[in-house]
Structure 1
Amino acid sequence: MFTTGGLLVLLLALGIHSHLKVKQLNKQLKFEAFKNQELQKKVKLALKTITKMERNPDLIHSREFNLDYLRMRMEEDIFHAAIVNQLKVKVKQKITVALRPRQAEAGLIGIASKPRVVDEIFDVEYSPQDNPIAKKRVLFRIQIKLAKLPTQATSITISQLIDCIEKFMSHEAETSNWQPAIQGHIAYMHWDQKAKPTPLLVIEQSTEGGNVTLRSRNVLPSSSTSKPPQRQATSPHQGR
């Protein structure tokens, strides 16, 4: 009799516990469903706002303004050093592994490696130095597309990439595209106009065509045309 009573009490306790647990789970499920609905409303509102901003005629040239402002900031020593140091680290991290020879991975020595396609993308971030609580923000992204041509060391290729990016981002570079020589091969640098909302700088190298036999200094084209030298005016009293 005592055993039956104990089992009855145990069953009642389990029933009450299960009822409370189910009630708690139902309450949590309703709360998560409410959060999901609110999140969907926020996403729809954000998409509507972004679409409205993209169609706003006052913001059509905002990308060009931001890029011009970015090039002006590159004239500042602190900003320039922060961006260049970040480029050195990230380009080396992304490209070194991608440009590693295939025979080293397969354990084959003495066999020439074929051109290896590289497609890497990374963010360039910056946080204001005068505001210690400021978070890092993405300024722009860089996408590097090139082929590993067995003509030079990987360190030289990385140095060329960093040098080209630094020159392209300088204030003197008023052009929106450029064709420098990387690995003895012509590359094409330009801002991807379809990338939204973060600007995307693309460095694309084609495997077609011949190599550049002459060493290129990768000098940006000057926007100002050179004027012919003017002949010095002589005084009418001279030469007499």
Structure 2
Amino acid sequence: MAFFQNTAILAQAQSAPTAPTPAKLPPSSWTYSGALAIALVGVILYCKVQLHKKDKALKLERYKNEDLQKRLHQAQEEIKRLENSEELIQTRDFLLDYLKRRLREEVFYSMTLSQIRGRVKQLVSKAVLPETKALGGVSGGRLVEDTFDIIHEIEIRGKLRKRSLFRVFVQLVKMPKQQHAAIMKELIECFETFLSTGGADETWQPLVQNRLTSINWNWETKPTPLLILRQSDEGLTRSYGTKLDAANKTPPGKDSLMTRLSTLC
């Protein structure tokens, strides 16, 4: 009997559940977590440093922008002061008078007109190129504007230097492809007549494509003189235009040029 009791107690003792022991993390998990935390701290510090650099660069750019704006304002004020300077105005007037006097010389006149011819031919040829059709429609004509310099060589300290003698601005309302040769000829004739007379012939009315055209010196530019040829969008009747063309077909000769300029000066 006692044997059975001991057996039952032993069986109960063996069948009684044992309390679970807590699981321990392997050492590799702690290492991974620590490395991740260190990496996170490193990323935060890196971002903070980069943000500080960007902020510093932004402040520097703002400072440069403010300094540039200040210099631009000072330059504009200086330009206004120079434009209103009496000495600069006198210099411009002197240059225009000098040009009119030098144009009496046949060599100087031919050199100046030769440059104008070349630049006018380049302007007209460029305006009628096929690729300009997509931009403005060559068949219907388009607005043409260009500014170029007339160069003159002067001696400075024993060396020849190229300097801008004056500038020429050309503006045409239309440039049809079919009539570009005639337009080129009319433009050159306008410059020939104006330069040969010094702009003193008040009865002369230049025409380009039977359109009124103005050619004169711009008295506002300083100090480099500017010669402006501008075609108006106002046309003339055929008879009136033909009459003016016939009157202005042949530029005055050099003898009449000398006579007119001598009376002016």
The TM-score bracket by the shorter chain reads 0.5 to 0.7
User: How many angstroms does 1:33 deviate by?
Assistant: 1.4
Q: Which residue of the other structure, out of 123, 126, 138, is the alignment partner of 1:93?
A: 126
Aligned length: 207
The alpha carbon displacement at 1:187 in A equals 2.0
Task: Please list the CA deviations of residues 192-219 of structure 1 after superposition, one character each: whole Å capped at 9, or x if unmatched.
Answer: 4455676351322342431312443163
Distance 1:83 1:27, change over 3 A: farther
Confirm or deny that 1:121 pairs with 2:145.
yes
Match of 2:210 among 177, 184, 193: 184
Q: Quick check: which has more Rg, 1 or 2? A: 2
Shift of 1:37: 1.7
Change (3 A) 1:21 1:173: farther
Would you say the 8 A contact 1:147–1:205 is kept in 2? Answer: no
User: Structure 1 residues 51 and 11, CA, compared in 2 at 3 Å: closer, same or farther?
Assistant: same
Give the CA deviation at 1:87: 3.1
Q: Any idea what SS the aligned residue of 1:143 has? A: strand
Partner of 2:57: 28
Identity of aligned residues (%): 21
2:76 alignment partner in structure 1: 47
Shift in CA distance, 9/83, structure 1 to aligned 2, threshold 3 Å: farther
* Residues 151, 166 of structure 2: 8 Å contact kept: no
What is the TM-score of this pair, normalised by structure 2? 0.59
Bigger RCO (CA 8 Å, 6+ sep): 2
CA drift at 1:56: 1.9
Aligned 8 A contact 1:124 1:138 in 2: no
Q: For structure 1, which runs of at least 5 residues remain unmatched after alignment?
A: 103-115, 226-240
Higher helix share: 2
Query: What residue identity is the alignment partner of 1:146?
Result: V
The equivalent of 2:42 in structure 1 is 13
Partner of 1:219: 251
Instruction: Please report how far the alpha carbon of residue 157 of structure 1 lies from its aligned counterpart in structure 2 after TM superposition.
Output: 0.9
Check whether the contact 2:150–2:166 (CA below 8 A) recurs between aligned residues.
yes
Q: Is the 8 A contact 2:199 2:216 kept in 1?
A: no
Task: State the distance in 2 between where 1:63 and 1:91 align.
Answer: 30
Corresponding residue to 1:161 among 179, 183, 187 = 187
Unaligned runs of 5+ residues in structure 2 are 1-29, 261-265
CA 1:224–1:190 in structure 2 vs 1: closer, same or farther (change >3 Å)?
A: same
- Paired residue secondary structure (1:121): strand
Per the alignment, residue 229 of structure 2 pairs with 202
**Distance in 2 of aligned mates of 1:18 and 1:139:** 59
For 2:138, what is the secondary structure of its paired residue?
coil
Work out which of the residue numbers 179, 184, 199 in structure 2 matches 1:175: 199
The answer (yes or no) to whether the contact 1:164–1:218 under 8 Å persists in 2 is no
